[in-house]
Amino acid sequence: MPDTRFIPAEHGFHFINTYLNYFIPGVTTGGRCGGMSYAALDFFFSDTPIPASQARMVKGIDVTARDVDHLDLFAWGEDDAVWHRAYFRNGWADWEWLGGAVTSAPTATAWGVNHLDVFARGTDNALWHKNWDGSRWGDWSSVGGALSSGPDACAWGPGRVDVFARGTDDALWHIWYDGGAWHPWESLGGTLTSDPCAVSPAPGRIEVFVRGTDDAVWGRAWDGHAWSDWASHGGALASSPDAASWGGNRVDVFCVDRNRNMAQLSRNDNNWGPWTAIDGSFQGDPAAAARPGVVLGPTRLDVFGIGDDSGVWQNHFENGWHGWTPNALDVAGDTTALGDFIYRRQITSLVNQGPGFIGRLMPWNTWPTQFGWGISENDELGKLRSALDAGRPTPLGLINVEADPGKHHQVVAIGYDLGADPASTLRVRIYDPNFPDAVCTLTPDQSTSSYAETSSDRDGTVETWRTYFVDQAYQPVTPFH
């Protein structure tokens, strides 16, 4: 039976609809199904390919959190330049080239939402620095030194930056900026077999971790007055460590172990727990950052690793680990051209479909009556067939069986099957932004006066709707115009 040329795996977005909308300060709503449905149709009708999320092969990575909404990921590219990708609220911007000629993974730290400092080892084995002031990137400049590893940096407050690296004597070396000038390099001793990592749990405090000659994690701390002695925290590292802290005495250390798993060691107050594995298969060094929860929400840890494909993989902890996903497949974030375009189309879809949702939620439009409209040639079924028979995929509004307005939905109808009795033979194929690359199907169930949605990549019913309606107000626009 009639199918349009719209194929979800080709013409739909390849990321899941996990958007949060910030229409009112302090209040969020979930999803941009209308914006993604409209935007996918806009790309389809303009015969423009859906923009591909950017994968990048890298040799080293680091990440820093500016606040709860911002992450900044930095990479040592295969061109030996530094690359940057920013996360804001919903997803990732495209990679941007920051130049440089580096011989290590970069490291970055933020002492404010509008200030970033990035460091890397140059071809002369000195420490090189570049900063962002909230509007533009400065030039690369040398901070000197003689490094035999990549550096790591942390900031404990505005204007204060501390950088650590392994020297040519394999000891830990330290340099710091106090808001006015760089202080001379100093040796903190030890015998390192990796890049160091540094984290500031609180103003005036720093903790540094390294891999020792026994492949265990060793650390020492600055309490605002003096450095502690070196102490072993065990483990069997096959990489450099990285650390994150969400404040107080909570510190999490990550590394790749000898089985190529990501391993984690956590401390609450003064108590170190056991090493635990987060599975996966990784090469190179990990990167980690902690972000405080929104209002009273949970703190979030974001951990990144370089996979066997040399791409960046991400996992996050928020009341439990959520699984490894390729960084290239995340949702197109706010401030990106695609993310902003989807947002604008979300507003248009709500304006266009608002009357349809409101009318069907009026108490006099009973549930069985609404169900009947979807299988009646004189009502929604006739409008749907008219569009699809003409080869024109069309937006649909879906009314959930629950009264919660946040449960209602928007999708794209892309084809159908129909026999003599619509109530038992109708099958409407749809692109649902909640199920990327899959073909979903709406099937009427007369016994419950509802439509069951199934997905080609799931077993069983994924959602149930009381009815659907055809959006006849949609008009294609040229993407990004």
* Residue pair 40/71 in contact by the 8 Å Cβ criterion: no
Instruction: Say what percent of the chain tops pLDDT 90.
Output: 76
Domains of the chain: 8-48+341-470 (no CATH), 58-329 (2.120.10.70)
91-143: pLDDT as tens digits: 888 889 999 999 999 999 999 899 999 999 999 999 999 999 999 999 999 99
The secondary structure of residue 332, as a DSSP letter, is B
Q: What's the pLDDT band for 24 if we cut at 50, 70, 90?
A: low
Helices (H), 234-373: 337-360, 367-373
Phi, psi of 36, deg, nearest 5: -70, -35
Cα–Cα distances in angstroms (integers) from residue 207 to residues 111, 134, 154, 276, 381, in the given order = 17, 27, 9, 21, 65
Residue of 223, 222, 217 whose CA lies nearest to 197: 217
Residue 479: its pLDDT value, please? 94
Phi-psi region of 295 (alpha: psi -120 to 50; beta: other; left: phi over 0): left
Over the range 156-169, which residues count as b (16 or more CB within 10 Å of their CB) and which as e? beeebbbbbbbbee
User: pLDDT value at position 295?
Assistant: 44
How far apart (Å, rounded) are the C-alpha atoms in residues 205 and 171?
Answer: 21
d(CA 239, CA 225): 31
Q: How confident is the model at residue 27 (pLDDT cuts 50, 70, 90)?
A: low
What share of the chain has pLDDT > 70, as a percent? 96
- pLDDT exceeds 60 at position 461: yes
pLDDT tens for 405-442 read 778 999 999 999 999 999 999 999 999 999 999 999 99
Residue 329: pLDDT band (50, 70, 90) is low
Global pTM reads: 0.76
164-177 pLDDT, tens per residue?
A: 999 999 999 999 99
Q: According to the model, what pLDDT value does residue 50 have?
A: 87
Model confidence at 325, pLDDT cuts 50, 70, 90, reads: confident
pLDDT band (50, 70, 90) for residue 331: confident
How far is Cα 463 from Cα 430, in angstroms, rounded to an integer?
13
- Written as one letter, the residue type at 294 is V
User: Which pair of structure tokens corresponds to residue 57?
Assistant: 């092969």
* Beta strands per DSSP E along 136-171: 141-144, 152-157, 160-166
CA distance 238 to 236: 7
- Secondary structure class of 380 (helix, strand, coil): helix
Structure tokens that stand for 311 in this block = 């791409």
Which three-class secondary structure state does DSSP give residue 445?
strand
- The tens digit of pLDDT for each residue in 206-265 reads 999 999 999 999 999 999 999 999 999 999 999 999 999 987 789 999 999 999 999 999
Say what the pLDDT of residue 296 is.
44
Measured at the CA of 389, the angle between CA 387 and CA 395, to 5 degrees, comes to 30
Amino acid type, 305: G
